[in-house]
Amino acid sequence: MVGEHSSKQYDQELEAIRSKVLLMGGMVETQFDEAVNAFRVGNTEQADKVVADDHAVNQLEVQLDDACSHLIVRRQPAANDLRTIMATIKVITDLERIGDEAAKIARTAKSLHERGMVSFNHYETVRTISRATADMLHDALDAFARLDGKAAVQIIAQDDVIDHEFRTIMRSTITFMMEDPRTISSALDVLWVAKAIERIGDHAKNIAEYVIYVVEGRDIRHSKPQAVAAGGEG
Amino acid sequence: MVGEHSSKQYDQELEAIRSKVLLMGGMVETQFDEAVNAFRVGNTEQADKVVADDHAVNQLEVQLDDACSHLIVRRQPAANDLRTIMATIKVITDLERIGDEAAKIARTAKSLHERGMVSFNHYETVRTISRATADMLHDALDAFARLDGKAAVQIIAQDDVIDHEFRTIMRSTITFMMEDPRTISSALDVLWVAKAIERIGDHAKNIAEYVIYVVEGRDIRHSKPQAVAAGGEG
């Protein structure tokens, strides 16, 4: 029913949406980097910027959802093409929530530094988890850009490392608090930052799962990691 | 282009999907109730059941996403009808994440009770927030069932109450921890439970926003509460 000309137009419009999603991905990556930096050096202006930038990310979410709807209505895609749009809609939601988490990190960074509560090496605590998560997010966006299913499988495995690191942070923070109860309030802020970072890792994992859904046509959400890896090789 | 007969079939198929989404909503409501109860009375079997039930919820998410895709491909809905499906897809995602949060509450409940760490009135701390959130979730699902935009506007306002209650819990928990550092580990578990409940409130708010999107054809995500209320009256 759909001619070659129309199908080509469809591909072009879909590519335009995908480019904008990658732009949105770049925006939330910057938000995350800047939020962690504001937390590290106590730059409250940078923290304010991250929160302000979240409005632009939110607007992009609404625009991109709209663009996906219009594409479906105008081009009436077949099942295979629709899968890509459905996955894109889900990726957009995850990117928006990453922006929310970055804004939370920025707000906590600001509050912590304004209260002058940085009583232990707060950045050291989250350094490993924030670097691992930044890499994971970058890799997930890259896999989405290249629709690289094999890379996506590897990204999903990285989430376990981040979850493990979060539990390590929790234990060490509890020790800090018990040794010096005056640090409890600021240590909790550090824990909230770590939790927000861990959530960003979850969202990056979701993005990788949607890439596999597009590439391999199978829904691997809620599968065991071994099953994912096995399918990814096959 | 779409005849009356086909349009009627579309409506029937959409209604079938919406019924199943409400069934999924009932499942996550039960999960949440049982998770809070397991936390309250220390019922580790009930906690295990909540975690096990999450698999059924996850399966339903995948099935329902599929059903939405098939409906779009088969019936090629117009813009207006597509809006309802798009909102339904987003609601499904939020319901699945509510199930995840309920499972987290259940796991924490189990760990807390198995360690025999319930050293202060842990349930009292989260009683108000858990009741308010259960009501909000129920109201959101009800608004989705009846596509009631006015109710949805009121539900969105309830989220501020829950966020405020969460901050109150945080302050009182910090006081507990400082007074008796031996309670730090268990108090943190209580905080994680409160945080998971607060997230469930966020997801209920998202559901209410999608109801307004369907009913009024406007996207009120990321709008100020006053703007939402003004539009809801108009």
Q: How many CB atoms lie under 10 A from the CB of residue A207?
A: 26
CA atoms within 13 A on the CB side of B21: 30
Partner residue opposite A82 with nearest CB, options B73, B90, B191: B73
Mean pLDDT of all residues in A162-170 = 95
pLDDT bin (cut points 50, 70, 90) of residue B232 is: very low
Mean pLDDT of chain B: 89
- 3-state class (DSSP) for residue A194: helix
DSSP assignment of B119-158 equals: -S-HHHHHHHHHHHHHHHHHHHHHHHHHT-HHHHHHHHHH
Q: What is the ipTM of this complex?
A: 0.86
Domain range list for chain A: 4-233
pLDDT at A183: 87
Contact B177 A174 (CB under 8 A): no
CA-to-CA separations, A217 to A154, A204, A220, B5, B137, in angstroms, rounded? 18, 19, 9, 32, 33
Distance between CA atoms of residues B174 and B128, nearest Å = 18
Asked whether the predicted pLDDT for residue A63 surpasses 60, the reply is: yes
Q: Which CATH class is domain A4-233?
A: mainly alpha
Tokens 């199930």 locate to B99
pLDDT bin (cut points 50, 70, 90) of residue A29 is: very high
Q: Where are the alpha helices (DSSP H) in chain A?
A: 4-41, 44-75, 79-114, 122-146, 149-179, 184-216, 225-233
Name the burial class of residue A109, with classes exposed (0-12), middle (13-18) and buried (19+) by CB atoms within 10 angstroms of its CB: buried
Of residues B122 and A30, more confidently modeled: A30
Mean pLDDT of all residues in A29-54 = 95
Contact A69 B82 (CB under 8 A): yes
**Whether A216 contacts A149, CB under 8 Å:** yes
CA atoms within 13 A on the CB side of A233: 5
Asked whether the predicted pLDDT for residue A184 surpasses 80, the reply is: yes
Answer positive or negative: Cα dihedral of B130, B133, B139, B141: negative
pLDDT at B136: 98
Question: Cα angle vertex A69, ends A67, A72, to 5°?
Answer: 110
Q: What is the pLDDT of residues B173-218, one digit of tens each?
A: 999 899 988 889 889 999 999 999 999 999 999 999 999 999 987 6
Q: Which residues of B touch A177 (CB under 8 A)?
A: 177, 181, 184
pLDDT at B163: 95
Asked whether the predicted pLDDT for residue A219 surpasses 70, the reply is: no
Chain A residues contacting B via beta carbons under 8 Å: 55, 58-59, 61-62, 65-66, 68-70, 72-73, 76-79, 82-83, 86, 89-90, 93, 170, 174, 177-178, 181-182, 184-185, 188, 191, 195, 219, 221-222
Partner residue opposite B184 with nearest CB, options A73, A86, A177: A177
pLDDT at A226: 60
Contact A58 B181 (CB under 8 A): no
**Whether B10 contacts B18, CB under 8 Å:** no
Contact B76 A76 (CB under 8 A): yes
Q: What is the pLDDT of residues B83-121, one digit of tens each?
A: 899 999 999 999 999 999 999 999 999 998 888 766 557
